[in-house]
A and B are shown apart, each in its own frame.
Chain A
Amino acid sequence: MSDPIKRPGSCTPDEHRLHRRLFLKGLAASGVASVTSFSGLFTNSVFADIAKRAQKNVILLFLTGAPSQFETWDPKPGRPSSGPFGSIPTSIPGVHFSSLMPRCATIAHKLNVVRCMHTKQPEHLQAINLITRGAPDRAGFTRPTLGASVSAAIGQLDIKLPNFILLDPNPEGNEFKGYKASDLAGWLGPQHQPVRLGGTFTQLRRTTDAMTDDSEAREALRTYFSRRYESEHSSRMAAAENAAFEKVKGLMSSADLFDIAKLPEKDRARYGPGTFGLHTLMARQLSEQGAPFVMVANGMPWDNHTFQHEIHQMLVPELDRILHCLVTDLDDRGMLDHTLVIAMGEFGRTPWLNPARGRDHYPNAWSMMMTGCGLKRGVIVGATDEDGVDPDGTSYNEQNLFATIFTALGIDPYAEYDLTNMPTFHRVEDHAETIKDILA
């Protein structure tokens, strides 16, 4: 599937820039998991009209591995749980963020932070499923993820743009790797599976590649999907791939392939040099062109059981920079009113450090941010106690979160799925209440 992992630091960035031609050939020649190159198919003016009448969009920055709430949204200065970073005032009087988030602090009035998330799953894969599907597993039934649900509810199946796009340049990711390879559409069916961009470290920097003509590209994809079909003999998978292929085919016939080098250098510099920034910038582009749901991840970097502060000192400033750019850009473009931006992991981190100077998994009390479509702005929901050990009063779980997200998007959160020969399922079970404080 990929080259053997080389000695750290021994490879050059060029080696991570998979050329478009090679990428297509690679798809045709190998059994790469359902990774589809949609490079740049969305800058074509054909989609301008779609963008203009764009309904509602979601950009989910999924902070896989789970960031620390103490080093982001819920600092505890002076307490044993605080860690080494200080806190800074924000544009909301009396509210402080971690000192690692100076940019977001200036736009706190445009954000909403839920500081009292309380879930019950401390293991990654199960927690990722819980927080992206909105309910615990039920044996024998696969609940669709948020992206698939949004795809089904507000996606436009007659457009040549995927309704659910997953951007993640890291083909690995431990537990997240398993998640990415799983059925993310569940009972909604393969047409709502995400189109994933990924495979090698990054496929986004195809700066000077000669353009491959459409016929070659189509042939490569056709070959690829045919082989996948032949090898897997799965009608369900084939259907998924056919659905994806139809989109690819349509897009490729009408759009130039993506060339991130054509993005304004100014934007690239603002979003930062890392792949998370590049992908978030791409997510903004996709949303501008009407993509209903774009999920951005970057492997599983937040799982800092060791070197907690040494890694968060890099990751949090990057997140701070990216979120600031994204929210500001969407706001400046008039898109924030119809684009829901969510930044969260699958849980939080422990208030206490382990012997390896890390923070461990902590679903008991953690924070997430969401703003934009259907939400107020500048609301801090809930609180934790002085050490961040427990929620201080009200807490919310994955069901409350999903009820809030669906409501914000104008989707009935309690609607019953129309399923044949299956138990009764709802978008949100148990009529879980919304997080009312932030709903507009």
Chain B
Amino acid sequence: MKLEKPSEIFLPAGALGFAAVPDGSRLYAACMDGQVLEIDPAKDAKPAYVPFADKHTSYATGCALLPDGQTLISAGYDGALIWHDIAAKRSFRRVQAHQFWSWQIALSPDGELVASVTGQYLAGGEKYEPAPESEPSVKIYDTASGDLVQTFSHVPPVHCVTFSPDGQYLAAGNMMGEVRIYDVAGGRQVGGFTTPDFTCWGIIKSAHYIGGIFGLTFAPDGQSILCCGMGPMSDPMAANGKMTWQRWAWRENPPKMLGQIHDGEHGSGLMEAVCFHPDGESFLMAGRQAQGTWNAALFSADDGKLISSVDTKSRVTHAHFTPDGQTLYLAATQGQGKRDPKTKQWQDYGRIHVVPISV
């Protein structure tokens, strides 16, 4: 299996969230200008995207396409969840889910629930330990009614969230490298583990914590969880920690790390996206490269070895395989670039990388 050279779709602002219809004929991106875009990847003429009428008042960070293909739910740093009618390109429901950001959302496998995680990093101690949450850090909403159906506690900020393949469990990871697993229907925490390998506390420049787990996913059998992020840095502002994934058997007592990225197969930089290939035999991790040769790579689910990689020269924020496993979409952003001093125009800095996969 090989990741082939990607093609690119340019967007006006960085893409932080992504969804697609199964056949790839329509893509959806949540962008840093607050907009949610519908993208026609086959359209030749520019622009290939159409914005939805209602936008977030801060960055749009996630979008989830419901199974009926008629509704898109977006989330943003304004703490809101917005239900959009895809055909009308208008919203019909807005729920203020959080007082702070919605860092990420996840849709349950049956599409009936959407989970959103939040939390502001505020100084809570002399070492700048994060202060306790001021609201539930994890919330689950009914996608049909918009009703809040479950809340869970965590230590903010909670960066990422995912459902298990059977929808029974929800996992959420935070800045401190702690993953909590909840029984969705039971409304309680049923597991958790903490890894110190994604977080640093930087005395060289800054007396506070930084980093954490930015992406996670259950394995297809639901028995283990993959986490991604960046290893600790001596200079916490350098963004040059080790590109890192770890796989944890969360059901074991105590939870046990099954594996992690192999020495010699990584560069440095923050990894934000991790997901399994539909065949379950490999998984992808992607993010930004500070040093190295790739920023998106496939790994064997069996032994964790790197199979194939590409360098999109961007910061990948979200990865999505088509159901047939032949195409990989990478939502991404580049640096904004300077405003043109003459025209005072800003550059397009959002990207969707379309990566063909050959066998």
Knowing A80-B346, A358-B239, the reply to whether A274 touches B123 (Cβ < 8 A) is yes
Pick from A134-142, A157-165, A346-354, A405-413 the stretch touching chain B: A346-354
B150 contacts partner chain A, Cβ-Cβ < 8 Å: no
Which residue in chain A gives the minimum CB-CB distance to B313?
Answer: A355
Which residue in chain B gives the minimum CB-CB distance to A385?
Answer: B344
B207 close to A86 (CB less than 8 A): no
CA distance A1 to B237 in the complex (A): 24
A356 close to B339 (CB less than 8 A): no
B204 close to A314 (CB less than 8 A): no
B123 close to A172 (CB less than 8 A): no
Knowing A172-B204, A353-B335, the reply to whether A303 touches B237 (Cβ < 8 A) is yes
Which residue in chain B gives the minimum CB-CB distance to A300?
Answer: B205
Find chain A residues with CB under 8 A from B200 CB: 8
Find chain B residues with CB under 8 A from A306 CB: 237-239, 270
B339 close to A301 (CB less than 8 A): no
Knowing A80-B13, A306-B238, the reply to whether A5 touches B203 (Cβ < 8 A) is yes
B124, B204, B205, B314 pick with most chain A CB within 10 angstroms = B205
Which residue in chain B gives the minimum CB-CB distance to A177?
Answer: B204
Which residue in chain A gives the minimum CB-CB distance to B205?
Answer: A300
A13 close to B127 (CB less than 8 A): yes
Which residue in chain B gives the minimum CB-CB distance to A11?
Answer: B127
B203 close to A314 (CB less than 8 A): no
A84 contacts partner chain B, Cβ-Cβ < 8 Å: yes
CA distance A315 to B333 in the complex (A): 25
B232 contacts partner chain A, Cβ-Cβ < 8 Å: yes
Give the interface SS of chain A, mostly helix, strand, loop or mixed.
loop
B125 close to A299 (CB less than 8 A): no
Minimum Cβ distance to chain B for residue A308 (Å): 10
Q: How large is the interface on A (under 10, 10 to 19, 20 to 34, 35 or more residues)?
A: 35 or more
B168 contacts partner chain A, Cβ-Cβ < 8 Å: no
A305 close to B238 (CB less than 8 A): yes
Q: How large is the interface on B (under 10, 10 to 19, 20 to 34, 35 or more residues)?
A: 35 or more
B199 contacts partner chain A, Cβ-Cβ < 8 Å: yes
CA distance A16 to B207 in the complex (A): 12
B57, B120, B336 pick with most chain A CB within 10 angstroms = B336
B290 contacts partner chain A, Cβ-Cβ < 8 Å: yes
A304 contacts partner chain B, Cβ-Cβ < 8 Å: yes
A414 contacts partner chain B, Cβ-Cβ < 8 Å: no
B59 contacts partner chain A, Cβ-Cβ < 8 Å: yes
B122 contacts partner chain A, Cβ-Cβ < 8 Å: yes
Knowing A174-B204, A301-B205, A305-B237, the reply to whether A355 touches B288 (Cβ < 8 A) is yes
A357 close to B315 (CB less than 8 A): yes
CA distance A317 to B339 in the complex (A): 29
B58 close to A86 (CB less than 8 A): yes
A298 close to B207 (CB less than 8 A): yes
Minimum Cβ distance to chain B for residue A156 (Å): 33
CA distance A305 to B237 in the complex (A): 6
- Mask: chain B, 26-58; 1 = CB below 8 Å from A; 0 = not: 000000110000000000000000000000011
B235 contacts partner chain A, Cβ-Cβ < 8 Å: yes
B122 close to A169 (CB less than 8 A): no
CA distance A13 to B136 in the complex (A): 27
Find chain B residues with CB under 8 A from A387 CB: 339, 344
CA distance A84 to B59 in the complex (A): 6
A170 contacts partner chain B, Cβ-Cβ < 8 Å: yes
Find chain A residues with CB under 8 A from B208 CB: 274, 301, 311, 314-315
Knowing A84-B77, A356-B290, A358-B239, the reply to whether A389 touches B339 (Cβ < 8 A) is yes
- Mask: chain A, 1-30; 1 = CB below 8 Å from B; 0 = not: 000010111100100100000000000000
CA distance A10 to B194 in the complex (A): 13
A80, A85, A169, A358 pick with most chain B CB within 10 angstroms = A80
B335 close to A13 (CB less than 8 A): no
B203 close to A352 (CB less than 8 A): no
Knowing A80-B13, A314-B121, A314-B122, the reply to whether A355 touches B315 (Cβ < 8 A) is yes
CA distance A310 to B128 in the complex (A): 14
A201 close to B203 (CB less than 8 A): yes
CA distance A355 to B290 in the complex (A): 10
Minimum Cβ distance to chain A for residue B121 (Å): 4
- Mask: chain B, 164-183; 1 = CB below 8 Å from A; 0 = not: 00000000000010000000
Q: Which of A8, A13, A84, A298 contacts B199 (CB 8 A)?
A: A8
B57, B126, B270 pick with most chain A CB within 10 angstroms = B126
A310 close to B127 (CB less than 8 A): no
Q: Which of B13, B204, B207, B239 contacts A305 (CB 8 A)?
A: B239
CA distance A10 to B197 in the complex (A): 12
A37 contacts partner chain B, Cβ-Cβ < 8 Å: no
B210 close to A65 (CB less than 8 A): no
B67 contacts partner chain A, Cβ-Cβ < 8 Å: no
A173 contacts partner chain B, Cβ-Cβ < 8 Å: yes
A382 contacts partner chain B, Cβ-Cβ < 8 Å: no
Find chain B residues with CB under 8 A from A317 CB: 120, 122-123
Find chain A residues with CB under 8 A from B203 CB: 5, 170-172, 201, 299
A275 contacts partner chain B, Cβ-Cβ < 8 Å: yes
B124 close to A311 (CB less than 8 A): no
Find chain B residues with CB under 8 A from A272 CB: 123
- Mask: chain B, 70-94; 1 = CB below 8 Å from A; 0 = not: 0000000110000000000000000
CA distance A201 to B127 in the complex (A): 9
Find chain B residues with CB under 8 A from A80 CB: 13, 33, 336, 339, 346
Which residue in chain B gives the minimum CB-CB distance to A77?
Answer: B57
A193 contacts partner chain B, Cβ-Cβ < 8 Å: no
A174 close to B339 (CB less than 8 A): no
B245 contacts partner chain A, Cβ-Cβ < 8 Å: no
Chain A residues 73 to 90 lying within 8 A of chain B, measured CB to CB, are: 80-81, 84-86
A13 close to B126 (CB less than 8 A): yes
CA distance A387 to B33 in the complex (A): 14
A352 close to B232 (CB less than 8 A): no
Minimum Cβ distance to chain A for residue B334 (Å): 6
CA distance A356 to B346 in the complex (A): 18
Q: Which of B101, B127, B335 contacts A84 (CB 8 A)?
A: B101
- Mask: chain A, 303-325; 1 = CB below 8 Å from B; 0 = not: 11111001101110110000000
Query: Which chain B residues have a beta carbon within 8 Å of chain A's beta carbons?
Result: 13-14, 32-33, 57-59, 77-78, 101, 120-128, 157, 176, 196, 199-210, 232, 235, 237-239, 270, 288, 290, 314-315, 333-339, 344, 346
User: What are 11 A-B interface contacts by the 8 Å CB criterion?
Assistant: A8-B199, A9-B176, A80-B33, A86-B58, A172-B204, A201-B203, A274-B128, A274-B207, A307-B237, A313-B120, A314-B123
Q: Which 8 A-B pairs have the closest CB atoms?
A: A301-B206, A306-B239, A352-B336, A8-B201, A355-B335, A274-B123, A84-B77, A300-B205
In the complex, besides A80-B346, A317-B123, 9 extra interface pairs with C-beta distance below 8 angstroms are A9-B199, A84-B59, A85-B58, A298-B207, A304-B237, A311-B206, A353-B14, A353-B335, A387-B344
